């Protein structure tokens, strides 16, 4: 016989879960102990929100993310990271402890059953997960865990939540049932495949187009279809542009890779999407406001072909083109094969849009360090095995356009929900993912001073873990994006200004190395020190507060 906690831990380990994140509490302690026995370490974070962000980023880099929290406020604190994963199609297992079944409705300690005035934790998570379970017996608990592990990766990936009454963690269950469930992994869900005649039609349109564009979204990255996309672009002589979520999948120094589209994307990518391309093949792309720069009507119509695993996406925004319900990898591999069979030496790529629409450069004279120059210096420093995690905020808009990635999928941004502080904590999940996958490397987080303060306490977690993580703070002394909006409305925006904070002292107090940079030379020296030593480093980069990222079409 096994306890419920032992059964859950064994199922997680046998399903490939290598690590979990959370904050302990009395109701969940048996599960913490059982995970340790199964050699699944639980990273104890300083706040459950940080745990949820770390698990999210960990899973984005190929693992199964796992969050383990105590009851009531412990679970609710993790909601932001779970919602981020849900919007960006990231698989997570979320385990929140709960009051004992016999305590439901009696106001047990940190009860979240939804009875009386207690919060309904299961219903709270139901709105931001693929499914939310609350088993009432230990047999149902192990069934729910097995189902959650399968559901998290079936079809469009996403988080699955299990609210666990604490008495189930010590109740006994037959070990044979656990082994049966672990061995009986369900067959993968059927993958929608495009009809052969439809593939031939798309290939024919690509061949006849003068300036075709392949627009890549998060669905291609999550679906493991980046190599197939590269083959399609090569055989079809297509430009490649991508959404912000797909940044990092392609080498942006390649002439054919135009960079990200969208409000803060590159001029070349946006011009290709909006004006230059006579055919756009979009795969795994959510046509959001930011991606389309405000849903202009000219993006729709006959020049747009869309492919998505999720039928619902094809019915949202720009539905008047050719819509193909299919798995991204199957579609792109089939299309690459069809294009290769009639590849007549590859027609020349269209005009050099990067030369025609060059990126903005930093002015020669600047009162303080210009954000573009920060991106340039950081870009010189990062190595092929460096993973970049961009936090949400104005810093991310600078990075989106001006920090050139070299492919390999080593760029992470929480683009759907857009939670500030996500990258500040989440970068630790990136470091763990590299360690657990046998491809260790340094991790760099770019953040603003506002975002850093939303997750700075997790620097302490990084110190405890000995994580090789470097934070670059774009310090402009204000909540930049919001202040810019105020200024555009004719207001001063002074309400958005932040107090002068000694980030070097703050990081040092938590045990990290820390530097302050006001010039390119100081930034290079700080980055050099970070690269020469293992462990966490915080670099407070004081930037010119005046410049704001340009908006496409403005």
At 300-334, the pLDDT tens digits run 778 899 999 888 888 888 888 889 999 999 999 99
Q: Residue 62: which pLDDT band, with cuts at 50, 70 and 90?
A: confident
At 457-485, the pLDDT tens digits run 999 999 999 999 999 999 988 887 787 77
The CA distances from residue 183 to 11, 143, 180, in Å, are 10, 13, 5
How far apart, in whole angstroms, are the C-alpha atoms of residue 74 and residue 98? 10
DSSP code of residue 331? H
Residue 289, classified by CB atoms within 10 Å of its CB into exposed (0-12), middle (13-18) or buried (19+), is: exposed
Q: pLDDT: is 349 or 109 the higher one?
A: 109
Q: Is the pLDDT of residue 359 over 90?
A: no
The CA distances from residue 231 to 26, 323, 337, in Å, are 53, 21, 9
Nearest to 221 by CA among 247, 202, 241: 247
How far apart, in whole angstroms, are the C-alpha atoms of residue 253 and residue 257? 7
Q: Provide CB contacts within 8 A for 120, sequence distance 6+.
A: 112, 113, 114
Per the prediction, the chain carries an average pLDDT of 90
Q: Is the pLDDT of residue 185 over 80?
A: no
Residue 128, classified by CB atoms within 10 Å of its CB into exposed (0-12), middle (13-18) or buried (19+), is: buried
SS3 338: helix
SS3 411: strand
Q: Provide CB contacts within 8 A for 530, sequence distance 6+.
A: 442, 470, 513, 537, 539
Q: Is the pLDDT of residue 123 over 80?
A: yes
How far apart, in whole angstroms, are the C-alpha atoms of residue 184 and residue 174? 16
SS3 518: coil
* Residues 5 and 30 sit within 8 Å (Cβ to Cβ): yes
Q: What is the pLDDT of residue 345?
A: 46
For range 500-511, the mean pLDDT:
96
Nearest to 185 by CA among 215, 150, 157, 214: 150
- Percent of the chain predicted with pLDDT > 70: 97
Q: Provide CB contacts within 8 A for 523, sequence distance 6+.
A: 369, 374, 377, 378, 517, 539, 541
Strands in 92-98's sheet, in edge-to-edge order, are 42-44, 20-23, 65-69, 92-98, 159-165, 131-133
Q: pLDDT: is 368 or 37 the higher one?
A: 37
Q: pLDDT: is 98 or 550 the higher one?
A: 98
Q: What is the pLDDT of residue 348?
A: 60
Q: Is the pLDDT of residue 99 over 80?
A: yes
* Residues 56 and 426 sit within 8 Å (Cβ to Cβ): yes
At 243-288, the pLDDT tens digits run 999 999 998 888 889 999 998 899 999 999 999 999 999 999 988 8
pTM of the model as a whole: 0.92
* Tokens 């810093």 sit on residue: 395
Question: Positive or negative, the Cα torsion across 239, 245, 250, 253?
Answer: positive
For the chain, how big is the Rg over CA atoms in Å?
A: 24
For range 374-388, the mean pLDDT:
91
How far apart, in whole angstroms, are the C-alpha atoms of residue 377 and residue 446? 13
The CA distances from residue 15 to 37, 178, 181, 183, 502, in Å, are 16, 12, 10, 9, 44
How far apart, in whole angstroms, are the C-alpha atoms of residue 65 and residue 22? 11
Q: pLDDT: is 410 or 336 the higher one?
A: 336
Q: What is the pLDDT of residue 86?
A: 96
Q: What is the pLDDT of residue 344?
A: 57
Tokens read off for 50: 């940080």
For range 143-163, the mean pLDDT:
94
How far apart, in whole angstroms, are the C-alpha atoms of residue 94 and residue 125? 9
Q: What is the pLDDT of residue 187?
A: 59
């Amino acid at each position: 016989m096994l306890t419920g906690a032992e059964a859950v831990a064994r199922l997680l380990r046998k399903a490939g879960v290598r690590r979990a994140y959370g904050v302990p509490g009395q109701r969940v302690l048996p599960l913490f102990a059982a995970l340790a026995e199964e050699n699944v370490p639980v990273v104890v974070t300083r706040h459950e929100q940080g745990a949820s962000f770390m698990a999210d980023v960990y899973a984005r880099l190929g693992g199964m993310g796992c969050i383990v929290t105590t009851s009531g406020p412990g679970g609710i604190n993790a909601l932001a990271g779970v919602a981020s994963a849900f919007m960006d199609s990231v698989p997570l297992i979320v385990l929140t402890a709960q009051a004992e079944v016999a305590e439901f409705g009696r106001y047990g300690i940190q009860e979240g059953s939804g009875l009386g005035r207690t919060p309904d934790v299961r219903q709270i998570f139901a709105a931001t997960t693929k499914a939310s379970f609350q088993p009432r017996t230990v047999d149902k608990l192990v069934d729910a865990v097995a189902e959650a592990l399968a559901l998290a990766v079936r079809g469009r990936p996403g988080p699955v939540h299990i609210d666990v009454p604490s008495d189930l963690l010590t109740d006994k269950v037959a070990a044979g049932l656990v082994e049966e469930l672990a061995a009986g992994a369900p067959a993968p869900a059927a993958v929608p495949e495009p009809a052969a005649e439809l593939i031939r039609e798309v290939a024919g349109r690509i061949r006849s187009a003068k300036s075709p564009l392949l627009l890549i979204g998060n669905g291609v990255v999550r679906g493991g279809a980046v190599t197939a996309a590269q083959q399609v672009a090569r055989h079809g002589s297509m430009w490649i542009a991508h959404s912000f979520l797909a940044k990092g999948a392609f080498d942006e120094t390649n002439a054919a890779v135009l960079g990200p589209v969208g409000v803060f994307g590159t001029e070349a990518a946006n011009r290709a999407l909006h004006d230059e391309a006579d055919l756009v093949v979009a795969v795994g792309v959510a046509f959001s406001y930011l991606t389309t720069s405000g849903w202009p009507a000219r993006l729709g119509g006959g020049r747009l072909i869309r492919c998505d695993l999720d039928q619902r996406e094809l019915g949202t925004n720009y539905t008047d083109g050719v819509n193909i319900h299919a798995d991204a990898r199957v579609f792109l591999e089939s299309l690459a094969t069809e294009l290769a069979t009639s590849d007549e030496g590859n027609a020349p790529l269209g005009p050099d849009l990067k030369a025609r629409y060059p990126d903005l450069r930093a002015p020669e004279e600047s009162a303080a360090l210009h954000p573009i120059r920060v991106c340039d210096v950081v870009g010189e420093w990062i190595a092929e095995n460096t993973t970049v995690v961009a936090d949400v905020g104005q810093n991310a808009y600078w990075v989106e356009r001006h920090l050139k990635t070299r492919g390999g999928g080593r760029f992470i941004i929480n683009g759907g929900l857009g939670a500030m502080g996500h990258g500040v904590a989440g970068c630790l999940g990136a470091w763990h993912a590299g360690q657990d996958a046998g491809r260790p490397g340094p991790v760099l987080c770019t953040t603003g001073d506002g975002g850093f303060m939303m997750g700075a306490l997790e620097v302490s977690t990084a110190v405890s873990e000995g994580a090789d993580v470097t934070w670059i703070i774009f310090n402009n002394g204000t909540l930049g994006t919001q202040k810019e909006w105020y200024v555009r409305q004719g207001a001063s925006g002074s309400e958005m200004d932040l107090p002068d904070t000694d980030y070097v002292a703050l990081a040092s107090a938590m045990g990290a190395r820390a530097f302050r940079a006001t010039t390119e030379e100081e930034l290079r020296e700080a980055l050099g020190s970070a690269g020469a030593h293992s462990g966490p480093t915080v670099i407070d980069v004081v930037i010119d507060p005046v410049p704001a990222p340009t908006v496409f079409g403005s």
